[in-house]
Structure 1
Amino acid sequence: MTTLLVVAKQPLPGRAKTRLTPPFTPEEAASLAEAALADTLATAARVPADRHVLVLDGAPGPWLPPGFHVVPQTTGGLDVRLAAAFAACDGPALLIGMDTPQITPETLAPALCWDTHDAWFGPAADGGFWALGLAGPDPALLLGVPMSRPDTGAVQYARLRAAGLGVGLLPVLRDVDTARDARHVADEAPGTRFAARHAHLTAATAGGGS
C-alpha cells in the first residue's frame, strides 16, 4: 500500500510564509501559502496512491479537498516530524511539502514505482529537498539530518546512499520561500491558484493597493 504524504502548515498570517514579508503583508503571505497548499493538495489528490495523508500543523480549512486523511504533526524539529510521518506508514511512502505548487501528477508519477529504486529524492534549488520517497519508511534515515540549511539536501541524499539504497532522482524544483521564488514559480506555473493569487497581489501593489 503506497501512501502519499503532504506535510503542511495551516496558512495563518504571521505563521505561514513569513519570509515573504516584506514585500507582502502577513495576510498576503498567508493567502499565497493557502493557494500553494490548495494547488499541492489538488495535484496530490490526482495521484493514484492507495492513501492520501495530510500531515498538518494546525487545523484543516476549506482548502482541503475530499479523500485526505488528516493527522497532526508531532512536536520536535523538522527531521523528527518528517521521520514520524514515515513511521506511521505501513508500506512505501512518498512525502512532499506545500512549497512547490508547480508540481503535476506527471512530476510525481515516477516516484510511485518501486521496481528499480528503494528511494526517490527531489532536490530543491535552494539546497533542500521537495520530495522524499522510501520503499521501506525507516525513520532513522531522516533523524539527525540538519534541516533548513543549504546542505540539507546533500546530507539527506548522502544518508540514503550510505544506507545502500538505490535512489531515483526527481527534477530540481524551486521552493516558494522568498518573493523572488514566488515570482519565478508563478511564471513557471501560470495556470495555478498560486499564480493567480500572486498576479492579483502584485497588480494591487503596482496599482497602489495593499
Structure 2
Amino acid sequence: MTAPDTSIHLLIFAREPVLGRVKTRLAAGIGAEAALSVYRELLAHTAQAVIEAQLPATVWLAEAPTSLLAPNEALPEWPGLPWQMQPAADLLGARMAHAFAEAFATGATRIAIIGTDCPGLTAAHLTQAFQLLTDHDVVLGPADDGGYYLLGLRQPQPVLFENKTWSTPTVLADTLADAQRLGLRTALLPTLHDVDSAADLARWRAG
C-alpha cells in the first residue's frame, strides 16, 4: 500500500449538522428543518468528493460537537478523518489563517481549504487544485457569488486573510488583488455555485 503524501493536506471548514445551528440564511427562507436537511446533503456530497480524492484531510468544526465522542473518535459525517476545533476568532479570515498555520507547522507544503456549501465540488476539482499548487503559489476556486469555494497555498500568506469583508461579493476580487500585489503566481479552478440562500437552493434544484 502506498503511504499517504504528507506534503499535501486538505482543510475542511464545517459544522455539525444540528437543528438551528447550520445554514441560517437558508433557514430564513425555507425553515430550520428543511435547511438542516439540505446541509446534511451538502455534507454528504463534500465528504464523498474528499473520499474519492483520497487526500489527507482534517475537519475543522466551527463549534464543539454536541455528541459525546471518545478521544480521537471520528465524526459520523466524516469517517476516518481527524477533526479539530476552529479557534474562537470572530473573523473567518483569522480562523482560516490559523488552520493553514497549523497544517504548515506539520510540514505540509501544499495546503487547500474548502467549506461545505458547494454541490458542484468534485474529487477532480480537489485533485486539480493540488496539481496546480506544484507550480503556483495560490489556487482559488471562484464561487459565482463573488467568494471562493477553495483556496490553496504553498506557504503562509497572512495578507490574503486580512482586510476582507467576508461573505460578500468582493472577497474573491480582493484576494486576487492582494495576490497580484504580492507577486504570487495564481491559478483559478472552474467557477462553481454555492448554496447559501433559498434562491441558491432553487437554482441548484433546477439544475
Q: Please tell me the TM-score bracket, short chain as reference.
A: 0.7 to 0.9
Residue type matched to 1:186 in 2?
R
SS in 2 for 1:46: helix
**1:9 alignment counterpart:** 15
**2:57 counterpart of 1:52:** yes
Native 8 Å contact 1:86 1:139 kept in 2 = no
CA distance in 1, matches of 2:34, 2:43: 14
- TM-aligned CA distance change 1:25 to 1:52, over 3 Å: same
**2:30 alignment counterpart:** 24
CA distance in 1, matches of 2:147, 2:97: 16
Mean Cα displacement is larger for which, 32-41 or 63-72? 63-72
TM-score, normalised relative to structure 1: 0.82
**1:86 alignment counterpart:** 100
- TM-aligned CA distance change 1:74 to 1:110, over 3 Å: same
Mean Cα displacement is larger for which, 21-30 or 98-107? 21-30
Cα RMSD after superposing both structures: 1.8
**2:164 counterpart of 1:145:** yes
Which one of the candidate residues 64, 88, 93 is aligned to 1:75? 88
- TM-aligned CA distance change 1:23 to 1:70, over 3 Å: same
Native 8 Å contact 1:87 1:139 kept in 2 = no
Native 8 Å contact 1:43 1:104 kept in 2 = yes
The runs of 4+ residues in structure 1 deviating greater than 6 Å are none
SS in 1 for 2:103: coil
Give CA deviations for 1:39-65 in whole Å, capped at 9, x if unaligned. 11221122232x211011132876423
**2:206 counterpart of 1:184:** no
**1:206 alignment counterpart:** none
Residue type matched to 2:8 in 1?
T
Native 8 Å contact 1:37 1:63 kept in 2 = no
Give CA deviations for 1:99-157 in whole Å, capped at 9, x if unaligned. 00221111222111233211101111111111100011333331332211111111112
Residue type matched to 2:23 in 1?
K
**1:112 alignment counterpart:** 130
**2:194 counterpart of 1:175:** yes
CA distance in 1, matches of 2:115, 2:183: 25
Determine what percentage of the aligned residue pairs are the same residue. Answer: 33
Residue type matched to 1:54 in 2?
V
CA distance in 2, matches of 1:141, 1:160: 7
TM-score, normalised relative to structure 2: 0.83
1:173 Cα offset (Å): 1.0
1:186 Cα offset (Å): 3.5
5+ unaligned residues in a row in structure 2: which ranges? 1-6, 68-74
- TM-aligned CA distance change 1:65 to 1:10, over 3 Å: closer
